[in-house]
Structure 1
Amino acid sequence: MATTMPAPRRAAFAEEAAEVEVLHANLDKLKSLSRKIQGSMSRLEVSGRTVQEAIGPVYGNTQKLQTMNANVDRLLEAIERAREPFDMTKSEERILRSRPERVGLAEYISSMDRTNQALRELKNSNMRSNQQAISELTGLLQLGTQSLEEAFRETCRRDCQPIEPLGFIMKGAQFPRLPSNKTTQLRTINAQVYSYASQASPNELSPTAKVYTHERGQYMTLSLQNLAAASLSTARKMGSADAIYKKGSNGVGTYAHGILGMYLAEYDNVCQIFHRNEWRPVFAATCQASLAVFSSTLRDLDNHVKSNIVTDCYLAYEIVDVVSNTSFELENRTGELKQAMIEALRPVRETAKTSLSTLLNEVRSRIQQMQTLPQDGNTVPITAEVMQRLQIMSTYLSPISSIMRSLGAGGWSAPSSGTSAASIPTLKSFDVGADGKLLFSAYCTDTMDTLLSNLESRSKVLLKGKSVQGVFLANNVAVVDRMIKSSELSSLLYDYQPKIDGWKKKASQLYTDAWKETSIHLLDVQYTSKQPRPPSTGQGVDSAAVVKSMSGKDKDGIKEKFRNFNLSFDELVTKHKSFKMEAEVRRQFGKDVQTFIEPLYTRFWERYHEVDKGKGKYVKYDKTQLSSLLASLS
């Protein structure tokens, strides 16, 4: 049985069916459109291939033309650059072939800078076609450098007229420096030449530096030549050949002062003109010629000292002092030339070192060669001369201390020879902490011992009798002692007195030995076991009682002793008065004799003077007279 659908539902189904039909219709249209689009794309692709096949050759030709055009442009640029050096050479040549003062220093240097820059670029290009331009530019730079060198030389020479250093030294004025405007100009030129020269020869002085060292070196050498000549002329012996050198009389001190002043001024100039790395070599090269003359002058002075070592060794000490101080001052102010100055000083310093032993040997030799000595016991000139030598040496304490420290304690005792044994280093030579004053004191003591010991040994050969030997030795010791106390030696020889006292004692013993022979006559023999003790009066020995108790033979013996004493005593007194004695020696010997003889005579006289019974036949002096006579000996 058929079912009947309600009307609303049939209407809904009908509407949906209609929508489906619409969708189918749209889908058919979309498919149709897709087919049309696909057909169009196929036709477009065919057309694109056709266009590409037609246009492709044209586009390739265009790219080739563009590349070719770019290559042509670059070639034209390269040709233009290649032409630039040739064009530049002509323009810069006009400037560089002119004088710097004509075109102006700044413009001239700018032209060199441009030329140098162009040359570097050409060298970097490695193009064969540029070789001619490179050669021409190199020649222009050399020409420009030579022109700048010449301008540098002319600027230097304007202020290189020799001066007289003595005038500046006397006035205490600074030595002249180059004006600031000149140093500015020279610095500018040097900087330009240095930059070019350092590329060519990096380890050599620049051309301008060579010009400077030649011109200024010659200026200093000529300026100092008079001081060098004065140093030699003032060293010559004008009077006696035995004249002792006087401190400061030689011109070497002024010469060194002049060198110091000129070198300091020149160092300031060098620092103003040259680069810092050039200061040392330029300054050393500038001073080289004048230093060579200075070294030669010192060698000549050294030869003079060697020929007059005894009288002029002090000149060597002065040179050591002056040159050492100058070298230290240069080192402090510039940091340079100390070693060069020390090398120049070396010959004189070696002579100064050997002089110490030479002087000792000279003392020995002179004394041993003496054929006679004063028979009155007077001093010999060598004693005062040797002490004067030590006094003078004390005024050169600083250089002598330095020399002695290099020798070491006792190093001066080495015998002088041609090989200079003193110059051979030893371990003690390196005692840099040694006290120079102590070493000098030891040297003075050695010198005095050498002097006195040789005088003593020579007197024993040439002088007869111990008394005159004692007087001779005492007189020379007195001169030594007096010259120490009257000079700076007294503050330096702090331990000399015991040695002097030892020599005085030795001299006194020699002198009093002769009086001991006289004293023998004042000795008597008492046999206390056989004879009773002489009676005493409470005032001393009773001479009358003593004589009364004696036998006739004993009395004759006492009379003979008085007679012999009188003869010996009078002879010694006469001899004592005839001796030439220094005042202090006479006082000391008189005191020694009185101290020795008076007690013996007083005792002997008190016991035996009654043997003469006051007649004065045998007893010539009473004890008061003898005491007065002995006192007169002082």
Structure 2
Amino acid sequence: MDDETAEIELLEQNLNKTRQISQRMTSILSSFDSRLVKLEKSILPLYDSSQILTRRSKNIESALNKIDEIHAYQEGIAAEEALVLRGPQPGQLQEYIEVVTRMNQTIAFGSVEIGAVETARLVETGAKKLMQLYTKLVAEGSSGTPINGPEFEPMPFPPNILETLHSLVDFLRTLPLPPTHPTHPAAPAIQAALKEAQKGYGDMRGSWGKKCLEVYGKRVVERAGTINGIATGKEFSQFMDNIMNVADAEYALLLTLAPITTPVSINSTYTTLLNSLCTLFSSTLSSLNSLIKRDLSKYTPMALSLFSCLSAAQERWEEAMVHRAGRRENELKDGLQGMKATCQRSFPEFLADIKLAAGSSRGELSTGVIDTTMSTVEYIERLPEVREAACTMLFSLGDGNWKMGEGARVAKGARQDIDENTILQHFTYDLVSTTLNTLQALGNSNRRPAFGSIFLLNNVSYLLTRLLTRPSTPTIPTLLSKPAQDVIRSNFRTAKAAYFDSNFSPMLQTLTDDGNKSKSAIKDKFTRFFDLLDETTERHQLARVLHDDDEARGQVSEEAVKLVVPSLQKFIQKNLGKEFSKNPKKYIKMSAEEVEALIKSFYLERDGMPPPAERETNNLLIQAGWSR
């Protein structure tokens, strides 16, 4: 117990000590807290002041940094401004593009600050300098002397210029424009400059294409009057193909070199480019049309050939020159309509010109083949090459309406009743019959019927030979119906009969038995016969008969001999024994054989050495005192 009591007392003593220590600690802490409060109150003003000084120090430091930044920026702007204003230098295009790009990025991604307006101005200036370089490069690639060889050869951009242009265009397409950068200060001015540069591209490329092609257009026009019309149509067709080939190539190039690639802008530039090419096409076609109108009869095959080539090119032209550019104008369509009107007018006018030729003679004309005959033959010979165009025109006129009011007018809807071959044969029949009528009128109008008969025989024979007996191509006789062929052959027979009648019948008439058998009558008959033979000889020395047809000339020679010589021989044999004169050779100037040789000489070739078979005839003539 005592031990426990002692421990309890000890614990109480320790508890009292602990309480005293706690009270003493509480007193000390209370005193420390009071002192801290007092210290805080005394230090707070100083802390507040230091905070203000610290903030001011930071503001001053920030201001100094900003001043340094602005200073450095202004120095950079000045350096870049000098570079931009100088423009891109040779070999430094990429560096220049990088400067303009960097300046543009400060506007696109930076905040609105002092210098942004100036930077935008420099971006605009740099962009315009690059556009000037673009225009300069396009001009260099669109200048020089074109290749003017026999065949058209396009002149592409030099590779080095094209490579530079591609790099330049790639950058120009990144420039800010109002649709993509509505807040960019320089966007409107840059867009206006780009449009102007792109329009200039179209002008320069179009002018260059025209310059390369126009010599070939002039060549077509210059040759049109010297070559046949079908060949002119083919040459113009090739010229038209070259125009469209250039347009295709330029469109592909435009898609890679246009700074503004919107469909509207591409179409507008392409239209500008096409203006020069279309002007060249229209002027060339107009020149050909003017040539045709000056002599429509002569150049009708050319008109039909041009109509054919224009019709064949319609689809491609509309795609390359109209739809692709969104244009309303269609120069080919306009030219086709004009050429169609010319072709339609050509048929009745050709017939009318042939009719008018009948009144052109004043009583004397050459006995050779005249232009009217040759033009008719040439016209028909060219028809197979323009058959489709000719049939189209004839159907549009209506069967028979090409006769300009002769007979009943046929409705245009008659096409469904006849085919192309029939309507073409109808026209060629009218053409042939009109030509024959004109030749007949010209032959009859000659003051000397004998010469008129030679003229008619030569011209009708020319039609017969070139169209039926020896045509240049097998298709030509198929253009003529049986009535047309019959009328040609019938007229040839009539012309040959008229030739014999006017040249040899008067001689034969002197040899006829008129009942007067006196010596003086026989002398007169021989005298008259050889006088007429002299006239006929002189006539045949002046006028060549069938000089282009050896076979027909040989037949006429044989027929003339058979017509004259037997009658003369019979007359000589009948009267030679009657001793009508003491000197018969005074009246019988030539024997029948010599007359035969003389008549055959009428039909011999006159230029160069005659064939061996003709030399014997010449020798007989010389022996008789006659010469060719």
TM tier, smaller: 0.5 to 0.7
Query: What is the CA deviation profile of residues 62-81 of structure 1, one whole-angstrom value per residue up to 9, with x for unaligned ones?
Result: xxxxxxxxxxxxxxxxxxxx
1:361 match: 352
CA-CA distance at 1:505 after TM superposition: 1.1
SS at match of 1:176: coil
For 2:577, give the aligned amino acid: G
CA distance in 1, matches of 2:127, 2:234: 45
CA distance in 2, matches of 1:165, 1:491: 46
- 2:232 pairs with 1:265: no
CA distance in 1, matches of 2:425, 2:105: 68
Query: What is the CA deviation profile of residues 580-626 of structure 1, one whole-angstrom value per residue up to 9, with x for unaligned ones?
Result: 21245543434444556678889x87xx976x58336499999xx75
CA-CA distance at 1:504 after TM superposition: 0.7
For 1:503, give the aligned amino acid: N
Aligned with 1:159 (options 125, 135, 138): 138
For 2:556, give the aligned amino acid: F
CA-CA distance at 1:228 after TM superposition: 3.6
CA-CA distance at 1:519 after TM superposition: 6.4
Query: What is the CA deviation profile of residues 32-83 of structure 1, one whole-angstrom value per residue up to 9, with x for unaligned ones?
Result: xxxxxxxxxxxxxxxxxxxxxxxxxxxxxxxxxxxxxxxxxxxxxxxxxxxx
- 2:195 pairs with 1:212: no
CA distance in 2, matches of 1:333, 1:556: 91
For 1:589, give the aligned amino acid: V
Would the alpha carbon gap of residues 147 and 430 (structure 1) be closer, same or farther in structure 2, given more than 3 Å must change?
farther
Would the alpha carbon gap of residues 385 and 251 (structure 1) be closer, same or farther in structure 2, given more than 3 Å must change?
closer
CA-CA distance at 1:330 after TM superposition: 3.9
For 1:582, give the aligned amino acid: L
Aligned with 2:334 (options 343, 362, 378): 343
CA-CA distance at 1:507 after TM superposition: 0.2
CA-CA distance at 1:266 after TM superposition: 1.8
Maintained 8 Å contact 1:406/1:431: no
CA-CA distance at 1:220 after TM superposition: 1.1
Would the alpha carbon gap of residues 277 and 464 (structure 1) be closer, same or farther in structure 2, given more than 3 Å must change?
same
RMSD value over aligned CA atoms?
6.1
CA distance in 1, matches of 2:555, 2:212: 58
CA distance in 2, matches of 1:346, 1:191: 48
CA distance in 1, matches of 2:107, 2:305: 57
CA distance in 1, matches of 2:104, 2:133: 16
Would the alpha carbon gap of residues 224 and 231 (structure 1) be closer, same or farther in structure 2, given more than 3 Å must change?
same
Would the alpha carbon gap of residues 572 and 556 (structure 1) be closer, same or farther in structure 2, given more than 3 Å must change?
closer
2:546 match: 582
Maintained 8 Å contact 1:470/1:510: yes
For 1:472, give the aligned amino acid: F
Query: What is the CA deviation profile of residues 124-171 of structure 1, one whole-angstrom value per residue up to 9, with x for unaligned ones?
Result: xxxxxxxxx9xxxxxx99999999899678646633442468528767
CA distance in 1, matches of 2:476, 2:298: 23
CA-CA distance at 1:473 after TM superposition: 0.5
CA distance in 1, matches of 2:444, 2:529: 24
Maintained 8 Å contact 2:152/2:216: no
Query: What is the CA deviation profile of residues 174-201 of structure 1, one whole-angstrom value per residue up to 9, with x for unaligned ones?
Result: 553766936972895599777789xxxx
CA distance in 1, matches of 2:146, 2:461: 46
2:156 match: 176
Maintained 8 Å contact 2:357/2:438: no
CA distance in 1, matches of 2:308, 2:315: 11
- List runs of 5+ in structure 2 lacking aligned partners: 1-76, 88-95, 113-118, 183-190, 601-628
TM, length-normalised to structure 1: 0.52
Would the alpha carbon gap of residues 149 and 571 (structure 1) be closer, same or farther in structure 2, given more than 3 Å must change?
farther
Would the alpha carbon gap of residues 304 and 609 (structure 1) be closer, same or farther in structure 2, given more than 3 Å must change?
closer
Would the alpha carbon gap of residues 378 and 318 (structure 1) be closer, same or farther in structure 2, given more than 3 Å must change?
closer
Aligned with 2:277 (options 279, 287, 290): 290
CA distance in 2, matches of 1:429, 1:374: 42
- Pairs within 5 Å for 1:458-477: 458-465=442-449, 467-477=450-460
- Pairs within 5 Å for 1:31-42: none
For 1:614, give the aligned amino acid: G
Query: What is the CA deviation profile of residues 538-572 of structure 1, one whole-angstrom value per residue up to 9, with x for unaligned ones?
Result: xxxxxxxxxxxxxxxx9756999978875675565
1:633 match: 599
- 2:490 pairs with 1:507: no
Query: What is the CA deviation profile of residues 495-554 of structure 1, one whole-angstrom value per residue up to 9, with x for unaligned ones?
Result: 365443122112023234456677678888xxxxxxxxxxxxxxxxxxxxxxxxxxxxx9
Query: What is the CA deviation profile of residues 453-479 of structure 1, one whole-angstrom value per residue up to 9, with x for unaligned ones?
Result: 2121122122343x4433220011233
1:122 match: none
User: Which 10-residue stretch deviates more, 260-269 or 563-572?
Assistant: 563-572
Maintained 8 Å contact 1:590/1:633: yes
Maintained 8 Å contact 1:156/1:215: yes
User: Which 10-residue stretch deviates more, 211-220 or 384-393?
Assistant: 384-393
Maintained 8 Å contact 1:157/1:215: no
Maintained 8 Å contact 1:166/1:258: no
- Pairs within 5 Å for 1:371-390: 371-374=362-365, 377-380=367-370, 382-384=372-374, 387=377
Maintained 8 Å contact 2:292/2:299: yes
TM, length-normalised to structure 2: 0.53
For 1:159, give the aligned amino acid: V
2:437 match: 453
CA-CA distance at 1:339 after TM superposition: 3.8
Would the alpha carbon gap of residues 613 and 233 (structure 1) be closer, same or farther in structure 2, given more than 3 Å must change?
closer
SS at match of 1:491: coil
- Pairs within 5 Å for 1:137-536: 155=134, 158-160=137-139, 161-163=141-143, 166-167=146-147, 173=153, 176=156, 181=166, 185=170, 188=173, 212-225=198-211, 227-228=213-214, 231=217, 235=221, 256=240, 258-270=242-254, 274=261, 283-307=270-294, 309=296, 320=307, 327-331=314-318, 336=323, 339-348=330-339, 350-374=341-365, 377-380=367-370, 382-384=372-374, 387=377, 407=397, 412-414=402-404, 427=412, 435=420, 446-465=430-449, 467-484=450-467, 488=472, 491-494=475-478, 495=480, 497-514=485-502
Would the alpha carbon gap of residues 447 and 248 (structure 1) be closer, same or farther in structure 2, given more than 3 Å must change?
same
CA-CA distance at 1:365 after TM superposition: 2.9
SS at match of 1:633: helix
- List runs of 5+ in structure 1 lacking aligned partners: 1-93, 116-132, 134-139, 198-205, 416-424, 525-553
Maintained 8 Å contact 1:320/1:345: yes
Maintained 8 Å contact 1:267/1:334: no
Would the alpha carbon gap of residues 571 and 480 (structure 1) be closer, same or farther in structure 2, given more than 3 Å must change?
farther
From the CA coordinates, give the structure whose radius of gyration is larger: 1
CA distance in 1, matches of 2:222, 2:245: 26
CA-CA distance at 1:374 after TM superposition: 4.2
For 2:599, give the aligned amino acid: L
Maintained 8 Å contact 1:521/1:565: yes
Maintained 8 Å contact 2:500/2:560: yes
SS at match of 2:475: helix
Maintained 8 Å contact 2:142/2:205: yes
CA distance in 2, matches of 1:511, 1:210: 79
CA distance in 2, matches of 1:501, 1:341: 44
CA distance in 1, matches of 2:176, 2:426: 59
Identity %: 13
CA distance in 1, matches of 2:255, 2:172: 10
CA distance in 2, matches of 1:268, 1:432: 49
Maintained 8 Å contact 2:203/2:273: yes
For 1:181, give the aligned amino acid: H
CA distance in 2, matches of 1:302, 1:457: 33
Would the alpha carbon gap of residues 325 and 290 (structure 1) be closer, same or farther in structure 2, given more than 3 Å must change?
same
- 2:606 pairs with 1:615: no
Maintained 8 Å contact 2:135/2:201: yes
CA distance in 2, matches of 1:403, 1:141: 66
